[in-house]
């Protein structure tokens, strides 16, 4: 296999650990913090997690290691979408495990949670691990989206653990995977299996965060990658001066990725789904808002610009979410087959017209035909429209075009509008982790092993104080139940980790809000350039603007 010069050089990078983990395994001891409560619904969560609820938060500090000498056989899985740094979590876990006792064993279960269910694994050794140090991707063992959530599945996992003598499982995943880690931990405790479960906070979306978890890993690298590309597009726009670029960025429902990218690049427009929902903005209002910027810039002779659109935006537009709910209903069960059997789009349109409410039909009618058809194409396993597949960047540019045509007819606009479209997502999920993510991930993995060694179960590996140099980071653990509340999912009340959406009174949004009027009309572009892996610390070890503003 040919290895790039950068990959070879990155093998040599020594990830930085928090100061308190740097003195060697024999010099790490536990400092107990306060007992914890869940963020809401305390009684219900406590009843559901009688063995793992209310445990103390802990930090590690320098001092004699008092953990019990015990051979550890650990299993690790990667769960959900790729996020830069996943390999380093496994490397940190492996290094701490081997530094504690070279006879300890690390199993990597392949393809995500299904690897645990199917007992498909590799046993790591130095040679295997060394090929993946400081690299992007999840290809070390692969990932998957199978959910580990039923008692039957837990029983299978318990059997697999028994077979290999596994003492702990590390689940590297987002909010859903860590919710399931907590449920599995409770199951193991209730059944006296002796197997511990530790979670690690992963997702490029940045929506697994709270007062304890300052950010999920991968967000830093992914947003730096998108910002580099948006910056490059802006420079092209400012050079050619003839295109408006509509850039959709990943992030699911939350707009953290869009906001961070905007903070780094200062585009003319960035929509924030959470604001659209709070202000109940209609499609027409959003369109007007973008068209105002296009027209104001055209008046200065600038027929170019850049607009960032978060992936989940349409879910937040009230009239659109009603439309989507009605479409889900319209195609529920076997009705989808009847719809799909209709021979032409005209027939399908008539079916839709007969089935939607007057209000939703009015919204549907103004959508470009390509978007109308997307709404009826792909369904998720629950039969819902997959909003992430809707080309919202094209939806808004088409609506802006119409809006501008009306302005032209009214004599209030006299520019040229040539839109181009981009979707940034997969470009950033497997990038070489930035120094920040390389350090943070390695620390999360190393720390996860310390939690195992000290016997914790149902804890999330927690590394905080992240806006400071790594030396000052604080390593420890937090019971996952602390982040949980009860939410309605698929018609049932479920204990879940609360997802973090963009806070409209938070410092990152406030900064954006205070500047966006100027950005909309002027050309204030910032060009962040590519992630730098080698060089001065002020260039290579930058944290995200979101983290810097939140911690300022
Ligand atoms: P996770 O929530 O699993 O970390 O996934 C993040 C993400 O990249 C989202 O931003 C995106 O909507 C989704 O994964 C796409 O995943 P897939 O390619 O599996 O559809």
The pLDDT of residue 265 is above 90: yes
CB atoms near residue 472 (< 10 Å): 12
Whole-angstrom distance, CA of residue 132 vs CA of residue 86: 10
What spacing in Å lies between the alpha carbon of 145 and ligand 1's midpoint? 10
Q: Is the Cβ atom of 205 under 6 angstroms away from ligand 1? A: yes
Q: How confident is the model at residue 382 (pLDDT cuts 50, 70, 90)?
A: low
So what's the pLDDT on residue 473?
98
So what's the pLDDT on residue 450?
97
**Lowest-pLDDT range of 168-172, 313-317, 477-481:** 313-317
Which tokens sit at 492? 């049932």
What's 501's DSSP letter?
Answer: P
> Residue 108: exposed, middle, or buried by beta-carbon count in 10 A (0-12, 13-18, 19+)?
buried
How far from chain centre, in Å, is Cα 434?
A: 16
So what's the pLDDT on residue 313?
93
So what's the pLDDT on residue 376?
85
507 vs 376, more confident: 507
- Chain segment 190-203, per-residue pLDDT in tens: 999 999 999 999 99
Average pLDDT over residues 331-340: 84
So what's the pLDDT on residue 380?
67
So what's the pLDDT on residue 415?
97
The pLDDT of residue 333 is above 90: no
| Nearest by Cα to 87 from 429, 367, 467 | 429
Which ligand 1 atom is nearest residue 312's CA?
12
Average pLDDT over residues 358-383: 84
Whole-angstrom distance, CA of residue 7 vs CA of residue 461: 27
Catalytic residue among 95, 175, 176, 205: 205
Contacts of 371 (CB under 8 A, 6+ apart): 390, 391, 394, 395, 398
The pLDDT of residue 388 is above 90: no
- Chain segment 21-55, per-residue pLDDT in tens: 998 999 999 999 999 999 999 999 999 999 999 99
Which ligand 1 atom is nearest residue 429's CA?
8
What spacing in Å lies between the alpha carbon of 250 and ligand 1's midpoint? 8
What spacing in Å lies between the alpha carbon of 210 and ligand 1's midpoint? 20
- Chain segment 285-326, per-residue pLDDT in tens: 999 999 999 999 999 999 999 999 999 899 899 999 899 889
The pLDDT of residue 85 is above 80: yes
Task: Determine contact, residues 208/216, Cβ cutoff 8 Å.
Answer: yes
Mutate-to-test residue for ligand 1 from 200, 252, 309, 387, highest number of ligand atoms within 8 A of CB: 252
**Strand ranges, E, within 194-318:** 196-201, 244-249, 269-270, 305-310
So what's the pLDDT on residue 378?
66
Concerning whether 288 is annotated as a catalytic residue, the answer is no
The pLDDT of residue 329 is above 90: no
Task: Determine contact, residues 203/174, Cβ cutoff 8 Å.
Answer: yes
So what's the pLDDT on residue 147?
87
The average confidence (pLDDT) of the chain is 95
Q: How confident is the model at residue 338 (pLDDT cuts 50, 70, 90)?
A: confident
Which ligand 1 atom is nearest residue 388's CA?
12
393 vs 492, more confident: 393
Which ligand 1 atom is nearest residue 207's CA?
2
Q: Is the Cβ atom of 250 under 6 angstroms away from ligand 1? A: yes
């Amino acid at each position: 296999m040919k290895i790039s010069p950068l990959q070879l050089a990155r093998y040599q990078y020594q990830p930085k650990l928090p100061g308190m983990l740097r003195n060697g395994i024999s010099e790490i001891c536990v400092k107990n913090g306060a007992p914890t409560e869940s963020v809401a619904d305390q009684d219900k969560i406590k009843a559901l997690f009688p063995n793992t609820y209310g445990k103390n938060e802990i930090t590690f500090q320098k001092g004699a290691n008092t953990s019990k000498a015990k051979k550890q056989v650990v299993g690790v899985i990667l769960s959900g979408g790729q996020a830069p740094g996943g390999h380093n979590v496994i490397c940190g876990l492996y290094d701490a495990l081997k530094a504690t006792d070279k006879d300890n064993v690390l199993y990597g279960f392949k393809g995500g949670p299904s690897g645990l269910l199917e007992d498909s694994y590799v046993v790591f050794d130095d040679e295997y691990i060394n090929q993946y140090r400081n690299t992007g991707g999840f290809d070390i063992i692969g990932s998957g989206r199978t959910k580990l959530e039923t008692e039957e599945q837990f029983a299978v996992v318990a059997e697999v653990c028994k077979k290999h003598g596994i003492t702990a499982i590390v689940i590297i995943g987002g909010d859903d995977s860590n919710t399931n880690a907590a449920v599995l931990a409770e199951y193991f405790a209730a059944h006296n299996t002796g197997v511990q479960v530790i979670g690690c906070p992963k997702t490029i979306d940045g929506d697994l965060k709270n007062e304890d978890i300052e950010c999920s890993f991968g967000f830093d690298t992914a947003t730096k990658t998108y910002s580099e590309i948006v910056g490059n597009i802006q420079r092209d726009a400012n050079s050619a001066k003839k295109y408006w670029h509509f850039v959709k960025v990943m992030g699911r429902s939350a707009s953290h990725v869009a906001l961070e990218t905007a903070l780094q690049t200062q585009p003319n427009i960035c929509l924030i789904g959470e604001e659209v929902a709070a202000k109940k903005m209609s499609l027409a209002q959003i369109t007007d808002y973008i068209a105002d910027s296009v027209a104001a810039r055209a008046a200065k002779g600038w027929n170019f610009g850049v607009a960032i659109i978060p992936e989940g935006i349409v879910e937040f537009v009230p009239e659109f979410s009603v439309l989507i709910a009605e479409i889900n209903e319209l195609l529920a069960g076997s009705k989808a087959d009847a719809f799909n059997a209709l021979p032409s789009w005209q027939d399908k349109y008539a079916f839709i017209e007969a089935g939607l409410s007057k209000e939703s039909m009015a919204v549907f009618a103004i959508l470009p035909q390509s978007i109308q058809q997307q709404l009826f194409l792909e369904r998720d396993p629950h039969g819902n429209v997959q909003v992430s597949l809707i080309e919202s960047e094209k939806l808004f540019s088409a609506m802006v075009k119409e809006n501008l045509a009306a302005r032209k007819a009214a004599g209030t606009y006299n520019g040229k509008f040539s839109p181009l479209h981009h979707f940034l997502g997969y470009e950033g999920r497997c990038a070489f982790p930035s120094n920040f993510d390389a350090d943070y991930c390695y620390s999360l993995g190393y720390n996860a092993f310390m939690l195992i060694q000290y016997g914790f179960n149902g804890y999330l590996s927690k590394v905080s104080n992240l806006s400071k140099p790594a030396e000052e980071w604080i390593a420890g653990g937090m019971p996952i139940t602390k982040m949980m509340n009860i939410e309605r999912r698929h018609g049932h009340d479920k204990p879940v980790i609360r997802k973090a959406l963009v806070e409209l009174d938070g410092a990152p949004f406030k900064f954006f809000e205070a500047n966006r009027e100027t950005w909309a009309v002027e050309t204030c572009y910032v060009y962040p350039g590519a992630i730098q892996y080698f060089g001065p610390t002020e260039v290579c070890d930058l944290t995200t603007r979101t983290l810097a503003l939140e911690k300022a």
